[in-house]
Amino acid sequence: MYLRQTARHVDPGLEVIRRCTTTWDEPLEWQGEAERLRICWGRAAFMCPYSDFFIEEADAWRPEAWGIVRRTQNILWLIQTKRTDRIARCLPPGWGEGYFNAALGVPVEDKAHLSRIPFLQTVPAALRYLDISPCLEDVCPDLGDYLEGIGWVIIAGETGCGLSDDWRPFDLQWARNVRDLCQRRSIPFRFGHAAGRPRCPSRLLDGQEWNGLPEIWPKA
């Protein structure tokens, strides 16, 4: 379930559409599978991974998407947005303190985008998370002023396209700094990968994987 946003950064006149209505009901099938197998959490799913769930062009169909979230209580929905100023006005009736199966997150590529976090912190949610990827600079120690109410932090380097070496630099020390800060604050920390070609970057940081998950994450 996602919106296809066709290169609007290049041409603002290009069409923005709701993509692939034939798969719109797939989450309901996942829910049914989880119920049949009596699985508490069936899977996690990103909402609009290639666009933004809170984009204005999605206003018309967003209520239908919220309806599917309500009906798929065995799926943990990860809803990430750069449009943090629109979150509050786009929440559904009955949101209350947040749907227990919906996590709200924001991308924070660099220090300039730490300003997205305060909007997120004002919105009630079962889980708020930060996705520091692709990380383009050391966001510490400034990040320490923005962790109130944050329940999960992810960091990763940038990957290039295909076999090209077009990713931007990433220093593993930036990840160490975020990891250490999260450990001091008892916040689950996940290291996605270093910078490099797709499917090739290492997931090791100081010789090990860091796969911290919040308590509401689906258990294996």
Q: How many CB atoms lie within 10 A of CB 122?
A: 10
The one-letter code for the residue type at 87 is I
Radius of gyration of the chain (CA): 18
What burial letters (b/e) apply to 140-170, b meaning 16+ CB within 10 Å?
beebeebbeebbbbbbbbbbbeeeeeebeeb
What local confidence, expressed as pLDDT, does residue 163 receive? 56
Look at residues 182, 198, 200 and name the one whose alpha carbon lies nearest to residue 190.
182
How many residues does the structure list for the chain?
A: 220
DSSP for 98-136, please give it.
--TTEEEEEE--SGGGGGGHHHHHTS--SEEEEEE-S--
pLDDT in tens, the chain (220 residues): 333 333 333 334 444 445 555 567 888 998 999 899 888 877 889 998 888 999 999 999 999 999 999 999 999 999 999 999 999 999 999 999 999 999 999 999 999 999 999 999 999 999 999 999 999 999 999 999 999 999 999 999 998 766 566 789 999 999 999 999 999 999 999 999 998 877 778 899 999 999 999 987 655 4
